[in-house]
Each structure stands twice: as structure tokens, then as C-alpha cells.
Amino acid sequence: MKETTLAMSVWRGDAAGGAFRDYRVPARPGQTVLDVVTWIQRHIDPGLSYRYACRVGMCGTCAMTVNGKPRWTCRTLVGTVAPDLRLSVAPLANLPVVKDLACDMTQFFDKWRRAEGRFQAAPGSAADFAVVPPESAARQAADAGIECIGCAVCYAACDVVSWNPAYLGPAALNRAWTLVNDVRDGAQAARLAAVAGDAGCHACHSHQSCREHCPKQLNPTAAIAGLKRLATLAALKGEI
Amino acid sequence: MSRARAEALLWLAQRASAAVLGVWVPIHLVTIVAAVRGGLSATEILERTQGSAAWAVYYAVFVLAVSIHAPIGLRTVARETLGWRGPGLELATLAAGVALALFGWRAVAGLVMA
């Protein structure tokens, strides 16, 4: 029986530039895009660089541009995205390329820091256990965005990031929103000041590409809308 | 005023002016269509608007909303498509707003003053 093959087009290059290179890879049932990239590296081209760790959709390291769309490759079945057995794989958009399919994530995580995306305990909060009712509105708002794995798919999908390199991006703002809704956190005014303005939530055009592409089905656009409301209220009160 | 606060207030001003325009623009368009299809001449339209406090207030508010909304939007377009930022852009935004307001109110005066 003749073996079915995938027509792969993989971007090869570095920060200075590059181009797509074609490969033919055996098609297998249940094959993921990451499986295919790994097959190329192990059987055709050992020099192919890419990044992955867990292979089960938890670590957020394997995102790439697959047939023009940002996706987590470890959980993307070839049969789903390439029924015609033609597949292009490129590095994520909006991030500098290190080599081939591996991007430099530094700016992505720097923006989490700039958005005050770390928990800062309120003074005195360590004295006793905090009681956070799971059904409270704030906790539910935080829970809605808490499962972010930091894959940068939303960041690559965001038009505003491509237009405004300083824009914090959907993931950092979503992280800030989870903390804004954390009643134990004591740095809310500083966080709202950090996420307001041209580089922050107010720059979002609500295109919802982040929501469309998020592999965890999160809705950063809603988180950003929440930040817009709170930051604007804080501006009216003169708190930021 | 902090930059974050200024940006947040500009965002609010644009949304608030958009809310006004959302009501004002349909009224304006329906009025134009009704007047033209009703066969009113320019003279007959002016006979109805001149001396009318209601039309004066309506169009004065319209001009104010446009003068706030449009420059802030153009400022964003300039930043995102031209990469223009800094004091020059802020001055140009202010100038666009002032020009729209002055020309617009001048037109309103022509419409409602005898």
C-alpha cells in the first residue's frame, strides 16, 4: 500500500531573515503538528530548531503559526487543520525569532511584569487564612482567566501588538485582571495605573482575535474590558 | 496628571462622545432625508432653523461631540498606522479638535442666526 505523506512547508531562518523549506513527512493517524515537526528534526533535518516541553497542553512552549494561524502544536491534530495534507509551520508572529520555529519570549514575559502581573500580598494578609468564597463575583472573574498557560498564541494573534510594540498584550492584561479580582492582593492602584493608557487596556480595539485563538478558550478581551472599566473609574477618582 | 490617567480620560471622552453621536447622527440623517424628500428648498429649511433654540442646541452639541470624538480617534490612527507619537501628535490632536469646533459652530451660527 502506498504511504500517504504530508506536504510540509517549514520556516527556516533566524532574526536576520529566512524562508520556507519543503519536506515530505509520513502521515499517521492521530498525528499532531508537534509530532510532525519532531519527525522532521529526527529523520530529515537535525538542525531544525523549535521549542516544546510537556507535549500535553500545559507548559505553553510549543506554540507556532500553523497554516497562518497561531496554535499550540502539541494539541493540534494535523487531520483537523490540514485535511488536504498540506501544512505550513512558522514561528509565532509579533515576537523576534531566535532560530527557525523558536521565538524569543523575553518581551512577552517582560510585559507581564510591566502589567504588575505578580501577586502582591496586602499588608497584614499573612496573619490568617484568607476566606475567598468561590461563588463570589470577583473570584469567578479571576477563575475565568486563571488557566492561562502563557503560550503567547493570543499575543501573536493580536493586531494591536503588531501596530503598537509597547502594547502589553492580551496575556499580560488577562493576568492583571485575575489579580485585580484577587481580594488578597494589595497593589491594585499601582496595577491599574500600569495597565491604563496607550500601552495598556485602553489601546485594545476588541477585535477578539485573542479569544478566537486562545487554546484554553479564555477570553482576554473580556478581561481587558473589565480593566478598562476599573482603570477609567480610578482615573475619574484621581486614584491613578 | 499622570499619563495613565490622561489616556484613560481621553478614552472615556471618546466613548462618551460616541454615545452622543449614536443618537445625534440618526436624527441628523433622518432630518436631512425628510427635508430633501419633502421638497424643502434651502430657503425653506433656513426659515425653520433660524431663530430656533432647539436646532441651535442640537447642532452645537453635535459639533462638540464630533470635535471630541474625531481627534481622539485620529490620534489613535496616527499612532498605530504612522507610528507618530509625542508632543507633536498631541498638538495636532488639539488643533484638529479646535478647528472642528470652530468651523462647526460657525456653520451652526449660519444655520440658526438670522
Q: Give tens-digit pLDDT for B65-104.
A: 999 999 999 999 999 999 999 999 999 999 999 999 999 9
Query: d(Cα A64, Cα A73) in Å, to the nearest integer?
Result: 7
Return the CATH number at A88.
Answer: 3.10.20.30
Residue A129 grid cell: 487564612
**Which residue range is the domain that position A27 belongs to?**
5-103
Separation CA A144–CA A223 (nearest Å): 9
Determine whether the interchain pair A163/B9 forms a contact, defined as Cβ–Cβ distance below 8 Å: no
Q: Which residue of A has its CA nearest to B13?
A: A232
Q: Which chain B residues in 9-28 lie under 8 Å from chain A, judged by CB atoms?
A: 9-12
Pick from B8, B79, B80: CB nearest A232: B8
Q: Report yes or no: A149 and A155 within 8 Å, Cβ to Cβ.
A: no
Chain length of chain B: 114
Q: What integer pLDDT is reported at residue A126 of this predicted model?
A: 83
pLDDT at A34: 98
**Do residue A48 and residue A128 come from a single domain?**
no
* Residue B21 clears pLDDT 70, i.e. is over it: yes
With beta carbons under 8 A apart, name residues in chain B contacting A231. 4, 8
pLDDT at A198: 86
The rounded distance, in Å, linking the Cα atoms of A156 and A64 is 9
Regarding whether A229 and A111 lie in a shared domain, the answer is yes
Instruction: Tell me which of A53, A88, A103 is where a domain ends.
Output: A103
- Considering the domain architecture, whether residues A72 and A166 belong to the same structural domain is answered as no
C-alpha B35/C-alpha B41 separation (Å) is 8
CATH number at residue B23: 1.20.1300.10
Contact present, A170 and A83 (Cβ < 8 Å): no
Whether A197 has a pLDDT exceeding 90, the answer reads no
Contact A88, A64 (CB under 8 A): no
Tally of domains in chain A? 2
CB contact under 8 A, B79 and A200: no
ipTM: 0.86
Rounded distance, CA A57 to CA A208, Å? Answer: 22
Which phi-psi region, left, alpha or beta, contains residue B52 (left: φ > 0; alpha: ψ -120 to 50)?
beta
Domain boundary among A103, A137, A159: A103
Q: Which of A73, A103, A133 is the last residue of a domain?
A: A103
Q: Examine the pLDDT at A32 and tell me if it is beyond 60.
A: yes
Q: What is the pLDDT of residues A55-114, one digit of tens each?
A: 999 999 999 999 999 999 999 999 999 999 999 999 999 999 999 999 999 999 999 999
**Using CB atoms, which residue from A163, A228, A235 is nearest to B9?**
A235
CATH of the domain at A216: 1.10.1060.10
Instruction: Determine the average pLDDT of the residues in A26-32.
Output: 95
Quote the minimal CA–CA distance from B63 to chain A in Å.
24
- Mean pLDDT value across residues A209-225: 98
Counted domains in chain B = 1
Per-window interface: A 50-89 vs B, CB < 8 A: none
CB contact under 8 A, B8 and A163: no
pLDDT at A1 over 60: no
Q: Which three cell numbers stand for residue A167?
A: 502594547
- What pairs with residue A17 in β-bridges? A14
Residue A12 buriedness (CB in 10 A; 0-12 / 13-18 / 19+): middle
Question: Which 8-state DSSP code applies to residue A13?
Answer: E
Q: In the predicted model, is pLDDT for residue B6 greater than 80?
A: yes
Question: Residue A2: pLDDT above 80?
Answer: no
* A179 reaches B (C-beta below 8 A): no
**Tens of pLDDT, residues B43-70:** 999 999 999 999 999 999 999 999 999 9
A72 and A159 together in one domain: no
How far is it, in rounded angstroms, from Cα B77 to Cα B108?
A: 28
Which among B4, B80, B81 has the least Cβ separation from residue A197?
Answer: B4
> Is the pLDDT assigned to residue A207 strictly greater than 60?
yes
Q: Which residues of chain B have a CB within 8 Å of the CB of A203?
A: 76
pLDDT, tens only, A131-176: 999 999 999 999 999 999 999 999 999 999 999 999 999 999 999 9
Domain that residue B76 falls in: 3-112
